Amino acid sequence: MYIPQNSQVFVAIGAALLSSNSNIYRLKDIISKLDEAIDIKEVDEDVLEPLFKDEGEYIDFINRHERNKVKRRELSSYQGECF
């Protein structure tokens, strides 16, 4: 397998190269924009329902799944066909 040198930074290098044509923003302007964004109200139209209605339902789920675990043993001690 060939792993190119510095491959862990390829995405960062690409982002840096693409940013050369981007606008330059001052930090205080970015912070100001973030402060404005805090005041935006979220609309709950497309929000998924919670997986569990309460903690008790979650505990029941965990307990039910704990009872249905596959038993495990050392693979080296297995005899017979294995798929």
Q: pLDDT tens, 37-67?
A: 776 666 667 778 889 999 999 999 999 999 8
| pTM (whole model) above 0.75 | no
Distances (CA, A) of 42 to 37, 45, 46, 48, 51: 11, 9, 11, 14, 21
DSSP 21: G
Percentage of residues in the chain having pLDDT higher than 90:
23
Q: Where are the beta strands (DSSP E) in the chain?
A: none
Tokens in use for 33?
A: 């924009």
DSSP 5: T
